Structure 1
Amino acid sequence: MELDTSRKPDRRLDVVYRVGSGVIALVLIGFGLAGLMVRLPLFDTQGEVVAGLSTNGALGFLSVAFGSLLLGAAVLGGVFASTVCAVMGVAFVGSGLVNLYLMSAGPNILAFSMPNVIFSFVVGLMLMTVGMYGRFSGGLEEGNPFREHRARGPRWHGVRVPWARGRAAR
């Protein structure tokens, strides 16, 4: 994938990516730091309730780490922030599903409770919405970088993909 540095990025999309990932990052970092200040054991399965969610040392550390990644994406902005938000959103929804299962059937090493699962689902859906905003639509504007990518056709490492030629022509 080659980036065209001579063109300005779509500012409206960039604001959505930056603000969305930045706000969610600050919430995650705040929760993680509040959990780390309690100084809970790393893998305590019961956890302590902080801001309505149960936490332990591992969940506090992971919250700060993922929040920092989102904050970095907010600083960089653009397509990178969009991709990070979309991938992190899928990861949060997947984490909610896995921890929903682990609450009753396995080792609950992150001390998840039902409010944590709901929080994970909500944050995941918010991140996916922010990350996919402007990517999937029938009416993408002329300056949208994702429309330009579609217009060039399918490529793999800069080379046009021959087996997708029929689909691109339709």
Structure 2
Amino acid sequence: MDFRDELPVDHRLARVYRVGAGLCGAALLVFGCLGLTDGLAYFSTHGERIAGLSSNGLLSLISIVFAVVLIAGAVIGGNVASTVNIVVGTLFVLSGFVNLALLDSGANFLAFGMSNVVFSFVTGLVIATFGMYGRVSSKLPHDNPYWQRRHPQPGASEARRPVAITPRPAGTGLGRTSL
């Protein structure tokens, strides 16, 4: 299945995916660039405050990488942006859990503080929600391309079924049945 087959190019959901990826990517890009311009040590476990969050050079660099991924998804748009948002959002939430376990330890190589953990959870949920908007729900409208993909037209499945000819007793019909 090709991603572009499912969502029409001009569908209104594509704007939601693009805006979500673009805004979150821009915020991460600003955070990462601020950290790199301050000349933070790359592997400091205590970090410095940047925009209210603890950061070191490695976290700033990782933030820029994820910003580029999100912005690339926004430029491509459509299902690619949606999928990128879902994957990156999930990674942010997982990062929040991992770094929560590493707080106040020598293995805190990204210099996370509690504010970073909360930011990771909230940002991850926001990014993933942008990606899932209009794609994952039990109450999608019937004009939604994802709903239509999951619920083909009532005659479409019948047309795809092969027809077998079976012998029938004389006078009982045409002798054709669906498999």
Q: Does residue 86 of structure 1 match 2:86?
A: yes
Deviations 1:72-94 (A, max 9, x none): 00011101111110111111010
Check whether the contact 1:21–1:71 (CA below 8 A) recurs between aligned residues.
yes
Count of residues in correspondence between the two structures: 152
In the other structure, the counterpart of 1:63 is 63
> Cα 1:98–1:142, aligned 2, differ >3 Å: closer, same or farther?
same
TM-score (norm 2): 0.78
Check whether the contact 1:86–1:127 (CA below 8 A) recurs between aligned residues.
yes
In the other structure, the counterpart of 1:120 is 120
Paired letter, 2:85? C
Q: Distance in 1 between matches of 2:36 and 2:2?
A: 41
In the other structure, the counterpart of 2:19 is 19
Which has the greater radius of gyration? 2
What is the DSSP-based 3-state SS (H/G/I as helix, E as strand, rest coil) of the residue aligned with 1:40? Answer: coil
Check whether the contact 1:10–1:144 (CA below 8 A) recurs between aligned residues.
no
What is the DSSP-based 3-state SS (H/G/I as helix, E as strand, rest coil) of the residue aligned with 2:151? Answer: helix
In the other structure, the counterpart of 1:99 is 99
TM-score (norm 1): 0.82
Q: Distance in 1 between matches of 2:11 and 2:103?
A: 42
Check whether the contact 1:9–1:145 (CA below 8 A) recurs between aligned residues.
no
Q: Distance in 1 between matches of 2:27 and 2:45?
A: 23
What is the DSSP-based 3-state SS (H/G/I as helix, E as strand, rest coil) of the residue aligned with 1:104? Answer: coil
Paired letter, 2:115? P
In the other structure, the counterpart of 2:151 is 151
Higher share in helix: 1
Check whether the contact 1:53–1:115 (CA below 8 A) recurs between aligned residues.
yes
Q: Distance in 1 between matches of 2:4 and 2:52?
A: 45
Within 5 A, what are the aligned runs for 1:5-44? 8-9=8-9, 11-44=11-44
- The share of aligned pairs that are identical, in percent, is 48
What is the DSSP-based 3-state SS (H/G/I as helix, E as strand, rest coil) of the residue aligned with 1:147? Answer: helix
Q: Which moved more, 1:22-31 or 1:105-114?
A: 105-114
